[in-house]
Amino acid sequence: MTKISPSEITPEHVFLNRRAFMAAAGVAAGSLALAACAPSLGTGSSVPAADAEPALAAALGPDVLPEALAYADPYASTDADELGDPLNKFQEITNYNNYYEFSTNKESVAGEAEGFNPYPWQVEVTGLVNNPMTLDLDDLYKRYPQEERIYRLRCVEAWSMVIPWVGFPISALLKDADPTSAAQYVSFVTVLRPDEMRGQRSSILEWPYQEGLRLDEAMHPLAILATGMYGKPLTNQQGAPIRLIVPWKYGFKSGKSIVRIELTDTIPATTWNTAAPNEYGF
């Protein structure tokens, strides 16, 4: 099996200091679902298998699903990534999730997310752009061809998954928005619904969850907005209906259930940098 290179391994002090921060916030370290995971082309250990069915949206979704998201059963074009590591099973991926908005227990997120309704949905693209937009899912599906991207999701808790995402490059959307010459950063703001997301009723983090990238990072062809996985729309516990995936970044950079994308000329506030500025830079 191919090994993760030393540059890919989380420094011990980052792992331990994150646990210390969460413990100080009043959460038992043993129950934490650390958010600092990263899609990567490296390898690592897989997660425990799960048998429960994934949470499904109660309401109807878009008018027409694109072909890449319309499979009746979980589908991927291959059974392994480019390094030969097998894809994790659909049930594993949908029952072992880091999503503090619902729970700090990875194996509880799917159940807690059942009451979340991701439809209808709109994403606002605003800030330093010449063409601000508000797009619903039908708009996104029609404008941007959905394609499969197989990335390894890697977390600091020493587990990882190989996931066949479906989505489109962020750069396509940003080009349509036409950033002004002053734009340097991109802020991603996620949904705030404490009535549907029980974790947002706690003060463990400031809500809504926010992250950001430099504009050149967001324009990289590997960075995508994911709308599905295994040929099906994202489940609630995965960040339905649209989330960020940045292969070379830790998972705390990949916000879920995004509602606003804002271009700025200054570094935007981000959730973990606000919570622990000595440990988390931009």
Distances (CA, A) of 164 to 49, 93, 148, 227: 17, 10, 6, 11
Quick: pLDDT tens for 219-243: 999 999 999 999 999 999 999 999 9
Q: Are 233 and 241 in contact (CB under 8 A)?
A: yes
pLDDT per position as a tens digit, 105-164: 999 999 999 999 999 999 999 999 999 999 999 999 999 999 999 998 877 677 789 999
**Among the ranges given (41-45, 239-243, 246-250), the one the predictor scored with the smallest mean pLDDT:** 41-45
Q: What is the pLDDT of residues 181-226, one digit of tens each?
A: 999 999 999 999 999 999 999 999 999 999 999 999 999 999 999 9
Distances (CA, A) of 258 to 24, 45, 188, 189, 280: 28, 29, 7, 6, 21
- Region of poorest pLDDT, from 8-12, 157-161, 219-223, 254-258: 8-12
pLDDT in tens, 52-65: 444 444 455 788 89
| Mean per-residue pLDDT of the chain | 85
Q: Which domains does the chain have, with CATH numbers?
A: 6-275 (3.90.420.10)
